[in-house]
Amino acid sequence: MCGIIGYLGGREATPILMESLKRLEYRGYDSAGVAVLEQPTAGQAIRTSVTKSEAKVDMLIEKLEANMPSGKLGIGHTRWATHGKPTYINAHPHTDCHGKIFVVHNGIIENFAELKAELEAEGHEFPSETDTEVVPHLIEKYYKGDFLAAVRAALKRIKGAYALAMFSSEDPELLVGARLNAPLVVGLGEKEYYIASDITAIIPYTKRVLVLGEGEVAAVTPLGAEVSTLDGVTVKSKVVHVDWDVAQAQKGGYDHFMLKEIHESDDAVANAMRGRLTDDGSVSFREFDVPDEQLRDITDVLLLGMGTSLHAAMIGEYVIEDWAGIPARAEDASEFRYRRPTVGNKTLDVVITQSGETADTLVALHQARERGALSVAVTNVIASSAARDADGAIYLHSGPEIGVASTKTLLAHTVSLFLLALRLASVNGRVSLERRQELVEALRALPEQVRMLLEREEEIFALADKYSGYRNFMYAGRGLGYTVALEGALKLKEISYVHAEGTSGGLLKHGPIALLDEQFPVVAICTVSATKDKMVSNVHEIVARNAPVLALVTEGDRSLDGVATDVFVMPAVEEAASVILNTVMLQLFAYRIGVKLGQDVDQPRNLAKSVTVE
């Protein structure tokens, strides 16, 4: 999400921070800032200069050039807002009550509300709306003259995800970094050291990097970098030598942003759940904190979206009806705006838009609100139009998505809708505690299951290579698998320009089957579900028309052995969880075909990331 840079060495820190933040702009951001520990002149006390911009890095650079801080230690940050709007006050770095401790942060602190309440009760004051600000105040609370010890004590209290760069004006030769569930590296130069959220920021300065492990802290001094656990146990870290150029570094070593972002899917799924889901299945949304009584009055749910977001809406429709027992309908927002829909003050209107600026979806949102509907925007961008115009928001916390074709944000949308469905089911007493716990277990297992699937990339690429010569595809599924089929077909046509269409298995016989022959392969979603046996029958019908079949099946299921042309075995999971895993597989499949055909998969022709016109 956010970009982090820290420097300690013999050169002026400010120019290095400025250049590094420019290289981190590709990540997407809404504000920026730096803190530099200035060199005191004779008779002066040490002071820290903080410069922020609520806009682009270029504006920050203009401010710095007009009043350039001089110092050898500093930290910088580009912020992708997760808690609090993109304002000057909310921009990093953040500090403690006495202005001695300075922190930049990437990630989400799940328990920030309870920590903030504790600290406020002890007299700490919080000017910003961010979750990050609890970190310097918590360090201040534990500071007893040893900054590193105070950092370790504070971090033991924090739950969630963090990559942090920190310093204290009382320890002018110490730069500290720490990570948990968010990447952070230490760059090792010639008598100078860097802390960064990714290699991009530091690649012009050094090719030697130390990658921090989970729950590790790096203490950087002029003598070098020492890594330890939160308990102070020294860790021997591996130094990695990289030979990437800046463009490769921005992509994390991947060939394309799309592939990089597919590989960030596990984090996107985890971040969508952070701080929202308890062990007993209770769900809370900080920015959509609607009382149970109001949600019990909801009689129907309207889900609006376009493109991939419409497919997420269709998944939401299915699980809300299945889990919560509330009538739900997914609608193409561009068509909804020209109808006279039956929407009233007992309707929950859920608008799904990655950017929060999709024109058709915004108009549909306004129409539903005019008819009295309670509205919530499910979006990746804080303070976007959808988030501002709706009654509340469910933020994805996926970080920037550079590739035009939505990948990781679709998965975050889907998980967010699972949580909304579980919230509605709970307030209406539709699911038992035992069933809620089963769903919690399934959802919390997803990030690791996605990681394991991504490790099978070469197996998926081999299948894609085999099928890359075909010019027509059909994707078929039933139930939730139908929506997976629609999305799989959309991804293939978006980035490879190969004709593909999605259909339900039941609808296949009512027209689409006429297209099938030996040159028209079918990707069949046959993982475990209530309609799996029906889908297996559909595959037999397809094979009878000589069409090649690539079937996704659940491990242990041998029903299509010797029937389907190719079988890809998926892990045995809850049906809702299979949506996530099947989608990741098909994203990799489409990506590889697009690359094999020589297409620009990051920027497909005629498409835009945010569609702001009708």
pLDDT, tens digit, for every residue of 385-443?
A: 898 899 999 999 998 888 989 999 999 999 999 999 999 999 999 999 999 999 999 99
Task: Please tell me whether residues 288 and 229 are part of one structural domain.
Answer: no
267 inside domain: yes
Give CA–CA dist 112/129, Å, rounded: 11
Check if 97 is active-site. Answer: no
Same-domain pairing of 425 and 463: no
Domain assignment of residue 271, yes or no? yes
240 lies in the same domain as 367 = no
Q: Is residue 609 part of a domain?
A: no
Burial class of residue 318 in the structure, from the number of CB atoms within 10 Å of its CB (0-12 exposed, 13-18 middle, 19+ buried):
buried
Residues in the chain: 614
Query: In terms of domains, do 474 and 439 share one?
Result: no
Chosen domain end from 253, 285, 304: 253
pTM for the whole structure: 0.83
Residues 287 and 241 in one domain: no
Q: Are residues 215 and 269 in the same domain?
A: no
Domain boundary pick from 253, 269, 294: 253
SS3 content of the chain, % helix, strand, coil (to 5): 35, 25, 40
**236 and 285 together in one domain:** no
CATH of the domain at 43: 3.60.20.10
Annotated catalytic residue within 2, 251, 260, 491 = 2
Residue 118 inside a domain? The answer is yes
State the pLDDT confidence band at 613, using cuts at 50, 70 and 90.
low
Confidence of residue 239 (pLDDT cuts 50, 70, 90): confident
CA end-to-end distance (rounded Å), the chain:
29
Query: Which residue is catalytic, options 63, 534, 596, 609?
Result: 609
Q: Cβ(573)–Cβ(480) under 8 Å?
A: no
Percent of the chain with pLDDT over 70: 99
pLDDT at 172 over 80: yes
Whether residues 218 and 284 fall in one domain: no
Whether the pLDDT of residue 384 is over 90: the answer is: no
Any domain includes 370: yes
pLDDT score of 73? 97
Question: 520 and 573 share a domain?
Answer: yes
- In-domain check, residue 24: yes
Averaged pLDDT, 350-367? 91
CATH number, domain containing residue 345:
3.40.50.10490
Which phi and psi angles does 123 have, rounded to 5°? 105, 0
- Say whether both 447 and 460 belong to one domain: no
493 catalytic? Reply is: no
Residue 437 counted as domain residue: yes
Over residues 484-511, mean pLDDT: 96
CA torsion through residues 422, 423, 429, 430, sign: negative
Res 359: pLDDT? 84
Residue 439 is predicted with a pLDDT of: 94
* Domain extent for 575: 456-596
List pLDDT tens digits, range 555-579.
Answer: 999 999 999 999 999 999 999 999 9
Predicted pLDDT at 351: 97
Place of tokens 């592939």: 259
Pairing of strands 239-241, 549-554: unpaired
Q: Specify if 602 maps to a domain.
A: no
Of 202, 221, 253, the position where a domain reaches its end is 253
429 with 512, same domain: the answer is no
Would you say residue 554 has pLDDT above 80? yes
Same domain flag for 295 and 313? yes
Domain count, the chain: 3
